[in-house]
Amino acid sequence: MDEYLIANGTVVTLGDNDEIIDDGAVYVKNGSIEDVGKTAELKEKYDCPVKVDATDQVVMPGFICAHHHLYSTMARGFTPPGEPAYTFEEILERLWWKLDRALTEEAVEYSAYIPLIECIRNGTTTFLDHHASPSCVDGSLDILADAVEQAGLRANLSYEVSDRNEPGQGVEENRRFLDSLSSRDSEFIGGMVGIHASLTVSDDTLARCREVAEEFDVGYHLHVAEGVEDHQDALENYGMRTVERLVENDICGDDTLYIHCVNVNEKEIELIRDTGTMVVHNPESNMNNAVGVAPVLEMLEEGITVGLGTDGMASDMPSQMRVAHLLHQLDKSDPRVAFVEAPELLIQNNVEIANRLFPVELGKIEPGAAADFAILDYSAPTELSGDTFLGHLIYGLVDATVDTTIVNGNILMQDKEVKVFDVPEVARECREIAGDLWQRIS
């Protein structure tokens, strides 16, 4: 029986109880949270070691990223040949579609290791990944799943189906991987049917994706209306806007993620609401690609579950939350907005998304939930309470260093030392692989 205490910390439970416990402790047993309370009480109650002394630290549920691209590691520092891309379509054609096509099995593997390490370093314990490697499709999701299991994290994986290289490329990889999950029998790994975006798939390909999703009773993970090109393509080729087309093809529902939704109109927002489809906001990526500001506040007002992702740009979720906060204040020219809504994306809606997709309770510190934690160095300079927590989260905890990351009770990093990888060796090997990949692209 594996049991221990996390003790002497400020425990932020979130979840239904949503309390802050000074000098708090958590009793962990066999990968689950068994009890939460004051340190003195739990020490007296349970005869087990204190494995984590959280003095001057804040103990929170592990962070969740609702949209990632592990393979984007290989773009870091790379300058595509030719003129700089100006439109979003040019960004796709000159960078991302060249990079993903150049990925080998080895590059897929090592491109995953780096963001997995960064997830651990940033207390991100669960993420949803959207993968593409057109030159090595078959088995690519297994490569990622093996890397995730080696890291000890939780992930939902999908291959982004597209017609851009061959019709329906990736459909069978999603089918094969979803079928393999029963033999993998892991609460750490899940899957969905990935689709790149409406503008790169035909109706026939959408029908093939739908067959797989219905066979395995899963939803879809796809980019929606990220750039104006998406709805322009839908209007020109199908006589309707992007969301209308997807709903027409039944690519929607309460187990489906629409990523971005930057260029959606009022009617499309109503369709998203009426189908119960979830949305994931990626503010830093949208700013980087200059595609616009997603109408997140309007979607929240309509009762749509809007989560938060990084789109592969990073693995640090609190920083994405603060970007969302500041971006929407600027967009609305109103300092009163997004103070509550931006944290809601991270600490409430990402939890709801993950709990629809994983068989364990995530995102809360309460008995019965998974023992997934991010423990941050943070000595609050002012009162830290339920009334002040959001201010500390946005303007203090966002800059705090994660000291310890735990998933399912397993300590993946402690005293800022990642325990599951030889980080310098992984980085050295990744640099060599990336150098070869850059040469192939150039």
Report the pLDDT value the prediction gives residue 83, as an integer from 0 to 100.
85
Q: Which two tokens stand for residue 399?
A: 């800059």
**182, 218, 237, 254, 345 from 179: Cα distances, Å:** 6, 12, 33, 22, 31
Answer whether 25's CB lies under 8 Å from 11's CB. yes
Answer whether 113's CB lies under 8 Å from 430's CB. yes
Q: Cβ–Cβ contacts within 10 Å for residue 117, how many?
A: 21
Where exactly are the structural domains of the chain?
3-62+361-417, 63-357
Query: Pick from 404, 416, 420, 383: which is nearest to 54 by CA?
Result: 404
> Which residues are within 8 A (CB) of 107 and not within 5 positions of it... i.e. 6 or more apart?
71, 74, 133, 433, 434, 437
> Which residues are within 8 A (CB) of 78 and not within 5 positions of it... i.e. 6 or more apart?
95, 99, 434, 438, 441
What does the radius of gyration of the chain's CA atoms come to, in whole angstroms?
21
Answer whether 224's CB lies under 8 Å from 194's CB. no
What are the 10-residue block averages of pLDDT along the chain, 442 residues in total? 92 94 98 98 96 98 98 90 88 90 95 97 98 97 97 98 96 98 91 98 98 98 97 96 98 98 98 98 96 98 98 97 98 97 98 96 98 97 95 97 98 98 96 93 84
Report the pLDDT value the prediction gives residue 20, as an integer from 0 to 100.
97
Report the pLDDT value the prediction gives residue 323, as an integer from 0 to 100.
98
How many helices and strands in the chain, by DSSP H and E?
A: 17, 18
User: How many Cα atoms within 13 Å fall on the side-chain side of residue 360?
Assistant: 24
C-alpha torsion 201→204→205→210, nearest 10: 120
Query: CATH homologous superfamily of domain 3-62+361-417?
Result: Urease, subunit C, domain 1 (2.30.40.10)
Strand 220-224 relative to strand 257-260, pairing: parallel
Q: Cβ–Cβ contacts within 10 Å for residue 293, how many?
A: 17
| Residue with the two structure tokens 């093939």 | 208
Instruction: Determine the topology of domain 63-357 in CATH.
Output: TIM Barrel (3.20.20)
Distance CA(54)–CA(60), nearest Å, equals 11
Element (H, E) at 221: strand 220-224
